[in-house]
C-alpha cells in the first residue's frame, strides 16, 4: 500500500507539472494525491472482515477489487507518459506540424474563392484585350496586303477597296486603345485587391498562435497514436497497466485468501465491546428518564416506558 501511494504521488506530480509547469505546485498536489490513495487503499483492506465464509467475503470484495483496478489505471497512465516521454515528444512534433498545416489551410480556404474570382476576372479582361489586338492586327495586315497587291484584289493601288479596309483597321485601333484604357484601369484595381488579399492572408497566417502541443490531453493522444502504429508499444503499455493492477489488487486478494487471524478476533472483540457499551448507555439513559418521570400519571408512565423500550429494541 505504501508503494502504491508513492507511485500515485509520482504520477500525479508529473501529470500536474505538465499542466501548471510549476514544480512546487506539482510536488504539493502529488503528495496530497499520494496520501489520498494510500489512505483509500488502507481503508479498502482494513474494512474487509474475515468470518470464514469465502463466498460472502468474495462478494463483498468485488466492489473493492473494481475500485482498486480503477485506481491502478489512474496511477499507471501518467507514469506511462513519463516512461515513453521521448517517443511521445517525437509524436507531439508531428501533431504540432499537422495542427499548424490545418490552421493554415483553414485560413487559406477563406481567401481562395475571392482570389480565384479576382484572378479569373483579370484573365478575362486580358483575353479581351488580346482578342481585340489580334483583330486589329488582322485588319491592318489585310489593308497592307491590299495596298501592296499581295492580298485582297491583288491590285497594287490605294483605291476605294484599300480605303475601306484601312478605315476598318483604324476603327479597330481606336476601339483597342479605348478598350486598353478601360481594361487597364480595371485590371490595375483588381490586381491591387489581389495583392491586398495576399498581404492579409500572409498576415493572418503569421498571426496564428503557434501554441506548443504539450498538455496532458495531447500527450495521451500522442500515446494512443503511437500504440496504434506500433504493436510493441501497445504491449508495453498493457504490461505497465497490468503491473499496477496486480500491485493495487494484491492486498485485497491476500486479505481474501488469508485465514482468520488474531487481528480479526481482536477486531470482533472490540466491535462487540463497543456494541455492549452502546446498549448499556442507552439502558442507563432510559432508566434515568423513567425515574425522572415517576411523578407522572400511570398512563403517561406506561406510554413513555413503551416508547423507550421500543427505541431500545430497535437500536
> What's the confidence (pLDDT) of residue 259?
67
Work out the pLDDT band at 245, boundaries 50, 70, 90: confident
Transcribe the chain into DSSP letters: -HHHHHHHHHHHHHHHHHHH--HHHHHHHHHHHHHHHHHHHHHHHHT----S-HHHHHHHHHHHHHHHHHHHHHHHHHHHHHHTHHHHHHHHHHHHHHHHHHHHHHHHHHHHHHHHHHHHHHHHHHHHHHHHHHHHHHHHHHHHHHHHTSSTTS--S--HHHHHHHHHHHHHHHHHHHHHHHHHHHHHHHHHHHHHHHHHHHHHHHHS------SHHHHHHHHHHHHHH-HHHHHHHHHHHHHHHHHHHHHHHHHHHSPP-HHHHHHHHHHHHHHHHHHHHHHHHHHHHHHHTTTS-HHHHHHHHHHHHHHHHH-
Domain, as residue range, for 188: 97-207
Work out the pLDDT band at 315, boundaries 50, 70, 90: low
- Count of structural domains within the chain: 3
219 pLDDT higher than 60: yes
Tens of pLDDT, residues 130-182: 888 887 777 777 767 666 556 555 555 556 666 776 777 778 778 778 877 88
Shared domain check, 227 and 83: yes
Shared domain check, 193 and 146: yes
Shared domain check, 107 and 78: no
Shared domain check, 200 and 63: no
Shared domain check, 184 and 119: yes
Shared domain check, 177 and 142: yes
Shared domain check, 231 and 250: yes
Shared domain check, 222 and 86: yes
Shared domain check, 144 and 61: no
Shared domain check, 196 and 107: yes
Shared domain check, 79 and 101: no
pTM (two decimals): 0.50
Amino acid at each position: 500500500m505504501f508503494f502504491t501511494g508513492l507511485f500515485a504521488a509520482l504520477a500525479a506530480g508529473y501529470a500536474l507539472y505538465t499542466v501548471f509547469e510549476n514544480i512546487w505546485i506539482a510536488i504539493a498536489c502529488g503528495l496530497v494525491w499520494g496520501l489520498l490513495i494510500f489512505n483509500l487503499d488502507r481503508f479498502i483492506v482494513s474494512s474487509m472482515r474475515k468470518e470464514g465464509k469465502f463466498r460472502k467475503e468474495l462478494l463483498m470484495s468485488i466492489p473493492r477489487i473494481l475500485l482498486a483496478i480503477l485506481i491502478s489505471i489512474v496511477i499507471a497512465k501518467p507514469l506511462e507518459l513519463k516512461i515513453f516521454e521521448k517517443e511521445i515528444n517525437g509524436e507531439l512534433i508531428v501533431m504540432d506540424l499537422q495542427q499548424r498545416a490545418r490552421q493554415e489551410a483553414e485560413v487559406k480556404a477563406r481567401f481562395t474563392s475571392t482570389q480565384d474570382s479576382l484572378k479569373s476576372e483579370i484573365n478575362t479582361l486580358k483575353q479581351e484585350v488580346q482578342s481585340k489586338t489580334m483583330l486589329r492586327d488582322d485588319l491592318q495586315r489585310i489593308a497592307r496586303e491590299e495596298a501592296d497587291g499581295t492580298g485582297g484584289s491583288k491590285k497594287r493601288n490605294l483605291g476605294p477597296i484599300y480605303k475601306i479596309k484601312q478605315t476598318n483597321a483604324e476603327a479597330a485601333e481606336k476601339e483597342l486603345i479605348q478598350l486598353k484604357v478601360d481594361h487597364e484601369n480595371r485590371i490595375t484595381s483588381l490586381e491591387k485587391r489581389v495583392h491586398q488579399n495576399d498581404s492579409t492572408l500572409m498576415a493572418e497566417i503569421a498571426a496564428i498562435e503557434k501554441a506548443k502541443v504539450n498538455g496532458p490531453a495531447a500527450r495521451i493522444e500522442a500515446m494512443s497514436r503511437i500504440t496504434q502504429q506500433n504493436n510493441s508499444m501497445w504491449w508495453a503499455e498493457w504490461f505497465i497497466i497490468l503491473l499496477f493492477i496486480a500491485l493495487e489488487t494484491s492486498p485485497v486478494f491476500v486479505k481474501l485468501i488469508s485465514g482468520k487471524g488474531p487481528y480479526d478476533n481482536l477486531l470482533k472483540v472490540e466491535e462487540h465491546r463497543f456494541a455492549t457499551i452502546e446498549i448499556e448507555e442507552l439502558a442507563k439513559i432510559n432508566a434515568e428518564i423513567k425515574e425522572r418521570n415517576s411523578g407522572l400519571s400511570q398512563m403517561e408512565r406506561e406510554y413513555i416506558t413503551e416508547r423507550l423500550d421500543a427505541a431500545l429494541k430497535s437500536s
